[in-house]
Amino acid sequence: MPLTLNNIAKQGEHGSTMMPVIQGVGRAAIEIAAVLRGAVFRGALGGAGSENVQGEQQQLLDVLSDEIFLDEMRSTGFVCAVGSEEQEELLVIEEYSHADYLVLVDPLDGSSNLDVDGPVGTIFSIVKRKTANADRPHVSDTLQSGREVIAAGYVLYGPSTMLVCSVGEGVDGYTFNPSTARFELSHGNMRIPETGGYYSVNESNADQWADNMGAKLENLKAETGLGMRYVGAMVADMHRTILKGGVFLYPADSKNTTGKLRLLYEAIPMGFIMEQAGGKSMSSDGVAVLDLQPEALHQRVPVYLGSTTKVDILLG
Ligand code: AHM
Ligand code: MG
């Protein structure tokens, strides 16, 4: 019998309490994958005609995925609030506002790939509230560093749908099996290789990068001879980096002066997964992503995630 998401209950200090929430992520992933597959037939591709809080055009599928994710978090009964890329404010789940956990999510990451049938993903992390259970959850409950995250992960909607997660005891990947309609453990104890791999970055921004990153990347390329791969969806680029090795980066540049990727629902969950897979997650030389103290729900940071050797050469 293959192991399913129930396997999480056996892991770490928080496995049994996290299992229902991660099962909820799994249900959302199955629904989002189905919506993605049928989107072209339902006229669900294209813009929603609205902007999110970051001033980015929302795709219809961003909005749908956000609704699906929120509904599934509500149905777990364990989540008091959700902070989403697609919502300006923290969304309190009124029926369960006394519950213990908050979820931070990018419901559909890499949505610029949608029109070209490219891979996209969902990124999430789970924290325990700081406010008393009797109180209404507050945005301050989300402003916890990556060291306080209890569980995190991502879903990759590629040729198959994969849910990769960690409750702080290594990283496991589960692939959705359409014949059993379950996520089954397919990639146990994922570890990033120290050798080989690729560098992954939008190099067209190189002349605008801050922190002398253009020269630093040239040095990494010269020292390691790494090849380059870039999908433009963080989930797909990170998944390849974990499986094949190398480094994924999104530095600050003159357009995105504090970086592009969001700390709470992109950098921290991916940083958590990368560290749990044996790699390194930095936001600048000497500052780990997981040590940053968040100041705002939609804050952006530079990221350098990959094998320890490659990140050290890059930032050194
Ligand atoms: P999104 O959350 O609005 O999809 O934006 C985040 C995406 C990441 O998936 C990806 O790493 C990055 O933006 C790509 O940015 P760029 O197109 O500037 O290379
Ligand atoms: Mg995103």
pLDDT digits over 304-315, tens only? 999 999 999 999
- The residue whose CB lies within 8 Å of the most ligand 1 atoms, and thus the one to mutate among 54, 253, 260, is 260
Residue whose Cα lies nearest atom 16 of ligand 1: it is: 232
* 286 contacts: CB under 8 Å, gap ≥ 6: none
How many Cβ atoms sit within 10 Å of the Cβ of residue 166?
Answer: 26
* 158 contacts: CB under 8 Å, gap ≥ 6: 119, 236
Give me the percent of the chain exceeding a pLDDT of 90: 92
Distance from the alpha carbon of residue 14 to the mean position of ligand 1, in angstroms: 31
Distance from the alpha carbon of residue 10 to the mean position of ligand 1, in angstroms: 34
* 94 contacts: CB under 8 Å, gap ≥ 6: none
Q: Please tell me the predicted confidence (pLDDT) of residue 46.
A: 82
Is any ligand 1 atom within 6 A of the Cβ of residue 256? no
How many Cβ atoms sit within 10 Å of the Cβ of residue 41?
Answer: 8
Q: Nearest ligand, CA of residue 233? A: 1
Is any ligand 1 atom within 6 A of the Cβ of residue 72? no
Low-confidence ranges of the chain (pLDDT < 70): none
- The residue whose CB lies within 8 Å of the most ligand 1 atoms, and thus the one to mutate among 234, 237, 303, is 234
Distance from the alpha carbon of residue 263 to the mean position of ligand 2, in angstroms: 10
Task: Please name which of 97, 94, 91, 42 lies closest in space to residue 69, comparing C-alpha atoms.
Answer: 91
Q: Nearest ligand, CA of residue 263? A: 2
Is any ligand 1 atom within 6 A of the Cβ of residue 203? no
| Domains of the chain from N-terminus onward | 5-187 (3.30.540.10), 198-315 (3.40.190.80)
Distance from the alpha carbon of residue 127 to the mean position of ligand 1, in angstroms: 24
pLDDT digits over 135-148, tens only? 999 999 999 999 99
Q: Nearest ligand, CA of residue 266? A: 2
Burial call 291-302: b when 16+ CB within 10 Å, e when fewer? ebebeebbebbb
- Residue 258 sits at the vertex; the CA angle it makes with 256 and 263, to the nearest 5 degrees, is 110
